Every structure is written in C-alpha cells, then in structure tokens.
Structure 1
Amino acid sequence: MANVSTLTHGGLNLSARFREFVARIKQANARATEYSQTYSELQRLSDRELNDIGIRRCDIADIAREHAYCS
C-alpha cells in the first residue's frame, strides 16, 4: 500500500515567496541596525548616567536585544 503526501504553499507562487523572503531579510537587517544603535548609544553613557537611569553596564546588551527583537 502506498501513501501519498501533498504539500502546498498556501497558494503562494514563487515570486510571492521570493518577495516574502526579501521582506524578512529587510526586517532582520532593520532589527540588527536597531540593536546596534541602541547598544552604541547606551555604551557611550558614563557610569553615572547609567546609574541615574537604573542600568548596569553589564545589562546593556540584554536591554538592546530586548528593545530590537522583543518590541
């Protein structure tokens, strides 16, 4: 007895899938840029300025990641 599986792509043709792929790449680049900008801006602050806003220097990468990828 033979089993046949049929996979469909929800009706998306090749050009639509390619456009979606390009859009995802653009979104990933935008998020990476946002992370880098946030990280750099926080790194430029002095320890006193960071303390005033309640951020430890060791938390900068986590804060930048959350800002860029979780919001």
Structure 2
Amino acid sequence: MAVTRSNSGLDVVLDAGRTIFHQRREQIRQALAKRKVYRATFSELAALTDRDLRDLGIPRSNIKRLAMEAVYDC
C-alpha cells in the first residue's frame, strides 16, 4: 500500500515561510551573540588604563577597531 501526500499551494508557501523564518531567526541569534562578544571585548579594553594599553602597544583610539576585528574579522 502506497501512501502519498498532496501538497496544496498553501502548504508549499507555508513551508517556505517557516524555513525563511527559522533561517532569519538563526541569523539574528548569531548576530546577537557576536554583538555580545564585541561589547565584552570593547568594555574590557576600554577599562584598561592608558599605561596598560601602552604596555600592550594599543592606542586608545584603536579599541573599537580591535574589538571589531576580534568578532567580525574585519
């Protein structure tokens, strides 16, 4: 006995919508996770004293760029 399933046009559209929704939701989750790492990195570097930054060879003006590179591979 063979079982067949007939998809109506609406079922196909709903399945595509669910797929797009789940993909978009995952993209947003990943973006939020990256943003969290960026903010933590930025905060930790910004909290260092000028002397600590100088010892590391990091000018204070490069903190944002370094945090972006650490997360987004810019």
TM-score range, shorter chain: 0.7 to 0.9
The alignment-based identity, stated in percent, is 37
Number of aligned residue pairs: 60
Superposition map of 1:14-33 within 5 A? 14-33=17-36
Aligned match for 1:40, one of 20, 40, 43:
43
Distance 2:55 2:16 in 1: 54
Deviates more, 1:12-21 or 1:43-52: 12-21
> Is 2:69 the partner of 1:66?
yes
TM-score (norm 2): 0.74
In the alignment, structure 1 segments of 5+ residues that lack a partner are 1-11
Query: Which residue identity does 1:24 align to in structure 2?
Result: Q
Q: What is the CA distance between 1:70 and its match in structure 2?
A: 1.1
Q: How much is the aligned-residue C-alpha RMSD, in angstroms? A: 1.5
Query: Over residues 25-69 of structure 1, what are the superposed CA-to-partner deviations in whole Å (9 max), with x where a residue is unaligned?
Result: 001101111111000000010111111111000000000011111
Structure 2 gap ranges (5+):
1-14
Q: Which runs of 4+ in 1 moved over 2 A?
A: none
Report the structure number with the largest CA radius of gyration: 2
